[in-house]
Amino acid sequence: MPGPPVTIRPLTPRDVPTFLDLIDALAFYEHLPGPDPESRARLAADAIADPPPFSVLLAERNGQAIGYAVYFMTYSTFLARPTLYLEDVFVLEPERRSGVGRAFMQALAAEAVKRGCGRMEWQVLTWNEPAINFYQGLGAGHLADWHGYRLGADQLENLAHPHRRNEE
């Protein structure tokens, strides 16, 4: 017998503390340090900025937040269409395998269709077999021909200002 329904809705300013708590729960799950106080302040401000640099959906059951998804738009020059990029999707442990992840993915797919996206993309940690199996069950394909790369803050600074390093 199914439990109470899950509601997926956009973040409101009053939800920001809950959103930050859910981010901390994701960091704990992924064995990573959570955002420091400065990062938390930026996240809180950015989440309700006008326009926001990202969008947030919250999942609720019985009025309690049980998960979140963060997404933003990128653009595909080859498709000549936007891409919905899913940065985070997280569901609290007791609520997993109860349809919350599917509800998030359906809401995100509907948003992508509404915005005329040619695709939706995200990344998953190689050790997260439950998530990999979930995504494959939705019909998502692994991008075997692509490798993720990243420049961190220090590398960005060095690349943007190569002469500063030599002047110090």
Structural domains of the chain sorted by starting position, each given as residue range(s) with its CATH number in brackets:
6-167 (3.40.630.30)
| pLDDT in the model for residue 89 | 96
Using pLDDT thresholds of 50, 70 and 90, give the confidence band for residue 75: very high
Report the distance separating Cα 143 and Cα 79, nearest Å.
17
Is 135 a residue of the active site? yes
Q: Report percent pLDDT > 90 for the chain.
A: 73
The residue behind tokens 């309690």 is 64
| pLDDT in the model for residue 149 | 85
Range in 39-43, 56-60, 87-91, 130-134 the model is least confident about: 130-134
Report the distance separating Cα 19 and Cα 121, nearest Å.
22
Report the distance separating Cα 134 and Cα 120, nearest Å.
16
Report the distance separating Cα 109 and Cα 119, nearest Å.
9
| pLDDT in the model for residue 142 | 87
**pLDDT tens-place string over residues 6-40:** 999 999 999 999 999 999 999 999 999 999 999 99
Using pLDDT thresholds of 50, 70 and 90, give the confidence band for residue 105: very high
Report the distance separating Cα 33 and Cα 28, nearest Å.
7
133 pLDDT exceeds 90?
Answer: no
Mean pLDDT of the chain: 92
Q: Report percent pLDDT > 70 for the chain.
A: 96
pTM of the model: 0.89
Whole-angstrom CA distances from 52 to 4, 12, 42, 60, 160 are: 31, 12, 11, 22, 25
Mean pLDDT of 73-90: 96
